[in-house]
Every structure is written in structure tokens, then in C-alpha cells.
Structure 1
Amino acid sequence: MKKKSAIHLCLAGGLVLLIAQLSLLMLLLYPYKHHRNNLIKDITVIVNITSKLHFSLIVVDSEVLQHYSNQKLSSKNSCLLCEPRNPATFVIFYKGIRQSDELVSVLKEAKFQVVVLQNTNPPEVPSGISINVPICYLLKRNTVIHIVLFHEREGNYWWHGNILSDPTAISELSTFGLSVHGVQMMKSEGAYDKFETEHVEIDAISFLIPKDIPHFLREATNSRFVECNHMLADSFHRVHGKDTTHEAMRFVHRAWKLLSKAKAILDKLGVRFWISSGTCLGYFRQCDIIPHSKDVDIGIFITDYTEQILPEFLAHGFTLKHWFGKINDSLELSFTSGDLKLDIFFFYEDGRFVWNGGTQAKTGKKFKYIFPRFTLCWTEFLELKVRVPCETQAYVEANYGSDWFTPLTRWDWKSSPPNVRENGEWASDEWAQVMRVYN
């Protein structure tokens, strides 16, 4: 009898323990399910509001897009809007202050807490974007949602602001339980090529998403944008004047066309490039092409070199002026278009530094131009979306010294740059290969 009682007691205890474990599991799962349901409800309301006001709401949340792509491949059906760990992130295109105010008003009527962050104190004065324009909305009814505003720029691309351009951003984020690190986008200014979208259904809600998700996600990781310093440019022109002669203006226009043409070719090939040397100096110092420079300079990492570069430039009307170096050492290509020259310098990594080479055709002497390592950012240069070293001043100072603000009338490429070093000579039996000069 005692034995049976003990067995019954153990069974009862086990049942109580099992019920407790199941209850704990439900408690753990319920908040997640509750959050998921509230998120979907909130997003449904936002989609309906933006649709009625003719705003295109685009899903750009990296986790949602990645899971959507994976689900298409696996044919599994799961809740995609349950995935974001950060506030779910969307984009709308900015249409003007009146339309923005109307959207905010309707969202508030729908019981959303709305915080509008503005481009109040940008690092540099934007070109074509007014100060104090809205750059994003933080929304909360049951859950937090982040809507980024894409502004159209003169270079025919989309730009978004840096969340910290609004001095109230940190305190406003904290009211939502967030920090700057807790948002997916807007840790810096960003730039995106205009992209196609398509309608899809995610968790029974109709959305727009980027048509080429892998391309968009790659672009998102390399979207950092820096503005040309227009205040510095104004200062330069006040001190040194601005050459507005017919010859100068004509050269600048033709050099712009040359750069635009080179950009189209390299963009088509998917080759990253940045404005370098004198072209970068003109951008940084005066937001313009230096009228007396007489050429256009760009840089390419040798890891991005492709054999298609030469035939593509030739096919688009460029003439090869010279080929110096080898692919694995000091490669430099120079093209002409009419009487203008385009120099392409290839950069090599070497520990804490990067360098590009130079060759003196008469003697076979080699030179090396050394730069501190840098990353690449987008910028707008004369209405062109192009890359520059993010650490632009350090890059310019390496090449032109601390007195870069003062124009020079004399410049020797072999001795004037402070970062130039002699780098030996090409062997005489290699000259035909490494020094190809064309008339």
C-alpha cells in the first residue's frame, strides 16, 4: 500500500512539474507572439495610410528581405515580419513638406506616437537639400517602426540623412528604448542608385520591395555618403577667386563630360573607382574641377581590375595614350578623348598603406605614391554620384601636403608630391611590355 502511494505521489509530482514547465514555456512564447501580432497590426495600418496618401512604402529591413529571399528558395512559409530584432525599417520617398505634414497628421490620428527627425545640423551643408527637412519618422503604437525618407538628388539618385544630424535624435531614440546602434539605417548619410521595386505579399500584407534584393543589400552595406564642403569651397573662392573665363568654363564642362563617360563605362562593368589626384583635390578644396589641371584622374583598386576595361574604353571612343607597369606592379593607364586626358591609377595594398605607381618612360624609373589606408564613400560631384576616399583630407594631404589650400602653378609629378618615393627601375628587357606609349 505504501509502495502504491509513493508511486502515485511521484506521478502527481511529475505532472505538477510538467504543468509548471509548460506554463513557463507559454509565458516565454506569449510576449513574442504578442509582439508579432502587434507588429503586423501596426504595419497593416501604416500600409493602408501610406497607400491612401499615395506614398510608396518599401520594405528595406535587411532581415525581412534576407528571410524573404531564403523563403522563396526553400518554399517554406513562415512569419517574415516576426524576424527583425531592430525596429522594422521601411523607406518612403520624400514629396515635400506639405505632404510630409499630412502623413504625420494622419498617423497621429491613427494613435501612433510620431517623432520627426530633421536634417537640422548636417556635417556639411547639403547641395540641393534644404536644412531642417524631415529625414525620418519614428513611430510607435504597439511596436516601434522606423521609416527612412529618401530624397531625390540632382545626380538622379536617392539620398538619406544621418540620424545624428538632428541634435534631439539620441534623446528621442531613448524614449523608444533605442540607441543609434539600434537602427539599421542612417548611422551615416547614405546614397543609393534608383532601383526598381515590385509588389509582393508578406504575411498577408501587400508591400513594395527592391526587385533585386541581393544587389540592394550589397548597396546598403556600401552606401555611406559624404557631402562636398561647400563652405570650404566658398572660402577658397573668396581668397583665390574663381576662374570664369571662357577657356576655363569650357575645360570644366568637357572634363565633366569625360568623367561622366568614364563613370558610365566603369559602372556598367561593376568596377569601383574614385576621383583621385588633382580631380580629388578640386573636389575637396573647391567642389569643382580645377580649370588649369588639363586632365581627369581616377583610382581603382587592383583587386577590381578586369581585362574588360581596355576594350570597353576603346569601344566608347577613347584612345589609349599609354600603358605603364604590370597588373601586379605599378599599373597605370592613360586614355585620351579629343585633347583631354583620363589617367587611371591602380592602387595596391601594403600593410598599413596603399600605393599607386608611376613610370618615367624615358629612363624606366619607377615611382611609388604612398597613402594611408582609406575607405570609399559616395559623394555628389557636379551632379555626378561618384566615390571619394571617406578620409578625404588625409588622402589629399598625403598627395599635396598641408598647404593644399593654396593653388600651385608649378608641379612635377616625380618630385612635388610629398608621398612620392623612388621605386627602382624596370629591367631593360621588360621595357616593351611595361612602357607602351602610343601617339
Structure 2
Amino acid sequence: MRKHFVLFSFPFLLLSSMLIFYQTTVFRNQLNEENDYTGGPIVPFMKRSLALHYQTCESFLNSLNTTVPVLLIDVDVLKMLDENACNLPTGRPTKIGVDVKYLSATWLLQDSRFEIVYYTNDTEKDFLDFRSEPRKIIPKKFSTCWVENLAVPADIKLFVEFWKRAKFVNCMNLHIPRAGSKVRMPARPSSEVLSRLRDELIENRMFPFLNGGTLLGWYRECSVIPHTLDMDISVFAEDFNLNFVEQMEQNLSDFRIKRKFGMTNDSFELTLAPKTGFKVFIDVFLMYKGVENGSVTHHWVGGVAPDGTKYKYSYPVYDPFCAADLHGHIFWVTCTPNEKIVKEYGQLWYLDHLTSKYSWNSSGKNVKKNGKWTKEQMKMVYKVFKR
């Protein structure tokens, strides 16, 4: 069964010291009513070990109480909580997030305990938008527990991963003339389906990032290339979790496998389709480290032709630790999109090339042959499913 993350949820866990106070104030009810993800189940999320960590850090957390609800976003503090080591230097301000609807609480800015970062929680978007420098955005679907008016991320390691990838990168928003071009991939419904897959991958502790034509469409025109036939995302091979494949095979996912190519250590690719909603094919590529003389010099993804020929698409060392807005949905992207796109599509990447005239195994500037599977191997590494 899939888990659902709910922002500002209330776990029902009895702690001996009653550290966590589950209050049902009017304000907290308003928070839930304004959340995009209302209607989902409230998830008990704290394990006893985490509860004990909080017990030993009780006095520190209580010292951060204030008169309006705030979110603890200080990564150093969160890591200390996770390690049960709340020995912060005296006088160090703690970074907290405050919803912009509490801008009138100006006394917070004078409180030496805090470093304030305001954020917006737009009901039309699936991320929180922090007014920091640089600007940061993170998914809003995560659980919290409350210590008085302080919301603490329940899954600290997950929140830290979100924050590590939070730096916002803007797209170019170029106008691409396409007179008479047929729209095969409507941008908003396809982006919504991709965001659902993103959530399932996150639940399996994978952090996908845009790649290929989907990265190009976002960066070039802040959208999806309308004549494309599929969407592309990647996951680092070292982060891949086979449980996700097993969930789909056991019918425990909102997606089904249409194709499975390669092996997890070589040219692995899944083509997935949603069971409900807009029908879009999504290619998920494992991205591998290219190692030369003991050092990572590049990254690459693979492709497999029906005759067994393997192809390798190489990129400069990949850095998917930034975040982007694609039609109201947060997706992670490389922090240097121009560099990666020029490598794959060349200096004229800003010109449109019809999908019907683009060859997947020869048009890219970064593709070359990379060996060939034998006929026996192809029985294992090249599977197309009709379901």
C-alpha cells in the first residue's frame, strides 16, 4: 500500500514525557484546510527511536516555542536532533520557516533566537517557496510533528535531502514558433502524471531528475515539447531501489511497466505508463558514473536497440541538486542545464527539431555505440510487455 505524506500532520504517539503536544487549535485546522493534500490519511510517522531522540532534546526544542506556527528548517539543528546531540553553541540563531501570512508578526524579526526565512504555500503548486537567497523550493508533501508551535520534520533524513536539492533554477521561457505542429503531449496533464511518478520514487528513497527531451523542454520553453512522444527522467544508479520494480510487478503502484531494458549495472531503462489519468509514456534511465583513472570524469545513461546494440549518452559530471517549477510541480534538475543541453543537443539547442525527424540513437551529439548484447543476453535484457 502506498504511503501518503501530509504537510503539518498530527501523529498519534504517546510519549512518556508528553514532549509532543497534539493541539487541535483553530489555526492548525486552518493549515490543514489550506493544504493541497487535504483529504489524505494522517500518517503516524515517528518511530520510538526518534521519539527518544526528541526526549533528550526536549529542553532545546521547547526553547524555540513562539506565538505563531513555524517550521524548523535549520539543517545543522535537524542533523543534531537526528543524532540526539542538541549541543548547539550558545547564541547561535536557529533557522525557521514562517508562512508569509504571518508577516505582521514583526516581533519575530527582532527575536535573537531565530533566523527567519519566509515562505509561500500556494495551493496551486506542490512545493513550498522560500524567500531566501538563493531562492529555495521543496516538496510540500512531508510529515511533521509539533512541539508547541514548532513544526519539526518527522523524517529528518528525507527533509535534508529535499533541502540539499532546493536551490531554484529558472527556465529560459523562449518562444518557439511551431505553426501547424500537432500537440501530442499536453503540458499540464503530462506534468501532473510525471509528478505522481516523482512521488512514488521519493517514497522508495530515490530522487529523480529531468533529463533528455524533458530537460530541454523545461529549460528552453518552461514547458513540455508538444510534439514529443514520451517524457524522460533519470535516477543515479547507486540510488536505485529494486523494491519500486517489485511494487509495480505486484500491482502495488499507480504505474505499470511497458518495457524493461538492460541490467541495473549496465544500460538499465524502464518505460512506464500510468494506470489512470493522461496516458503518457515515461522513460526512467539509470545514470552511471564514468570513472577514469579512479576519478569520476562524466556520467552516462544507456540505450538498447532491438538488435542488441548498446548506446551510451555521456554528460559532464552531473549535478542534479537544483529545483525547477514545471507547471506548478517541483522537479529536480541539473544546476548547470545549459552545459548538459549543449552537450546533448549542440550549440543550436534553442531551435526546434521535430520528434519525427529525431533519431534516438544517432541525432544526439553525445551518443556513441557501447558494445552489443548477445542473443542469449537479449532474452533477459530486452523485455516488452503488452499489458
TM-score higher than 0.5: yes
The count of aligned residue pairs is: 312
Name the structure 2 match of 1:321.
258
| Of 96, 101, 105, the match for 1:103 | 105
Residue 377 of structure 2 aligns with an amino acid whose one-letter code is: E
| Of 330, 344, 349, the match for 1:385 | 330
SS of 2:183's equivalent in the other structure is helix
Distance 1:194 1:145 in 2: 24
Name the structure 1 match of 2:378.
431
| Of 281, 291, 296, the match for 2:231 | 296
What is the CA distance between 1:207 and its match in structure 2? 4.9
Distance 1:311 1:220 in 2: 25
Distance 1:145 1:257 in 2: 36
Name the structure 1 match of 2:164.
222
Check the 8 A contact 1:365/1:423 in 2, yes or no. yes
Distance 1:405 1:331 in 2: 29
**TM-score with structure 1 length normalisation?**
0.63
What is the CA distance between 1:287 and its match in structure 2? 0.8
Cα RMSD (Å): 3.1
Name the structure 2 match of 1:158.
128
Check the 8 A contact 2:191/2:326 in 1, yes or no. no
| Of 314, 317, 321, the match for 1:373 | 317
SS of 2:95's equivalent in the other structure is strand
Higher RCO structure (Cα 8 Å, ≥6 apart) = 2
Matched, 1:87 2:70: no
SS of 2:197's equivalent in the other structure is helix
Check the 8 A contact 2:218/2:224 in 1, yes or no. yes
Residues 146 and 403 of structure 1, relative CA distance in 2, 3 Å threshold: same
SS of 1:332's equivalent in the other structure is strand
Residue 433 of structure 1 aligns with an amino acid whose one-letter code is: M
What is the CA distance between 1:421 and its match in structure 2? 0.9
Q: Deviations over 1:96-123 (max 9, x none)?
A: xxx52x333x56xxxxxxxxxxxxxxxx
Q: Deviations over 1:287-346 (max 9, x none)?
A: 111110011111111112222222334524544332211111111112344863221111
What is the CA distance between 1:278 and its match in structure 2? 0.9
Structure number with bigger Rg: 1
| Of 331, 340, 354, the match for 1:395 | 340
Distance 2:211 2:353 in 1: 17
Name the structure 2 match of 1:360.
305
Check the 8 A contact 2:266/2:302 in 1, yes or no. yes
Name the structure 2 match of 1:306.
241
1:39-438 aligned at under 5 Å gives the runs 51=67, 55-71=68-84, 83=89, 86-95=92-101, 99-100=102-103, 102-104=104-106, 106=107, 137=109, 139=110, 143=112, 145-153=114-122, 154-163=124-133, 189-200=136-147, 207-212=149-154, 214-215=156-157, 218-219=160-161, 221-229=163-171, 232-233=172-173, 235-237=174-176, 240=177, 248=183, 251-314=186-249, 315=251, 316=253, 318-337=255-274, 340-350=280-290, 351-361=296-306, 363-376=307-320, 377-409=322-354, 410-438=357-385
Residues 147 and 289 of structure 1, relative CA distance in 2, 3 Å threshold: same
Distance 1:336 1:68 in 2: 40
What is the CA distance between 1:284 and its match in structure 2? 0.5
What is the CA distance between 1:406 and its match in structure 2? 0.3
SS of 2:338's equivalent in the other structure is helix
SS of 1:262's equivalent in the other structure is helix
What is the CA distance between 1:213 and its match in structure 2? 5.6
Residue 301 of structure 1 aligns with an amino acid whose one-letter code is: F
Residues 320 and 145 of structure 1, relative CA distance in 2, 3 Å threshold: closer
Residue 157 of structure 1 aligns with an amino acid whose one-letter code is: F
Distance 1:380 1:426 in 2: 39
Unaligned runs of 5+ in 1: 1-39, 75-79, 108-136, 164-186, 201-205
Residues 213 and 296 of structure 1, relative CA distance in 2, 3 Å threshold: closer
Distance 1:271 1:333 in 2: 15
Check the 8 A contact 2:139/2:330 in 1, yes or no. no
Residue 261 of structure 1 aligns with an amino acid whose one-letter code is: R
Residues 149 and 320 of structure 1, relative CA distance in 2, 3 Å threshold: same
Residue 303 of structure 2 aligns with an amino acid whose one-letter code is: G
Q: Pick which of 280-289 and 424-433 moved more.
A: 424-433
Unaligned runs of 5+ in 2: 1-58, 291-295
1:17-32 aligned at under 5 Å gives the runs none
